[in-house]
Amino acid sequence: GLRAALAKNFIASVRTIDADILCLQEIKSRPEQLPPAALAELCELYPYQTWNPAERPGYSGTATLSRLQPDDTGIGLGYTEYDSEGRVTIHHLGDVILYNIYFPNGRNDLSRVPYKLDFYARLLEQCDQLHQTGKQIILTGDFNTSHKEIDLKNARANAGSTGFLPEERLWIDRYLERGFVDTFRQLYPEKV
């Protein structure tokens, strides 16, 4: 959570990164729950902020902090079952739409895998519609899925675990087939 990160010199790290836009996932807090001095410092560093905390206290949530003034912002995908968990913030910057996403976890007992796969489907549907209007889309955040064996240190040990199930990995394929690019893998094709 963000409050725990703030207690571990998060703001000093942010200053070192010196990013124009900072996308945070699993924040587990609302801005008013942060120490006032820390919130003031974040506001000074990033004057344009979009917060989407989960309705359930101490759970999930996303925040996009920006030095660049967005043309528009949004939260959620428009589906109550996901939006109550604070999983998406959106910044419109010209023809570029930046999605900051905390994708659902399928749980150890795999009970939320269908929920997770439906989230992937609904987001891709939305992206397809935006692409048809000429928008460029950046998806960033915690995907909660490793696409290929190279993306995990112990792929064999995780073969039956959520985050590396074939049906989850297939959704990453679908996004790539629609023109999205895994920028990490493109920059570091051999890095485990």
**Tokens representing residue 114 in the block:** 């269908």
d(CA 122, CA 176): 16
Cα–Cα distance list, 128 to 121, 123, 133, 149 (Å): 10, 9, 9, 27
d(CA 42, CA 29): 14
d(CA 113, CA 119): 10
Burial (CB count within 10 angstroms: exposed 0-12, middle 13-18, buried 19+), residue 74? middle
Among candidate residues 20, 72, 118, 142, the one labeled active-site is: 142
Which amino acid would we find at residue 47? P
Can 142 be counted among the known catalytic residues? yes
d(CA 112, CA 168): 12
- Residue 134: CB atoms within 10 A of its CB come to 7
Q: Just list the catalytic residues.
A: 142
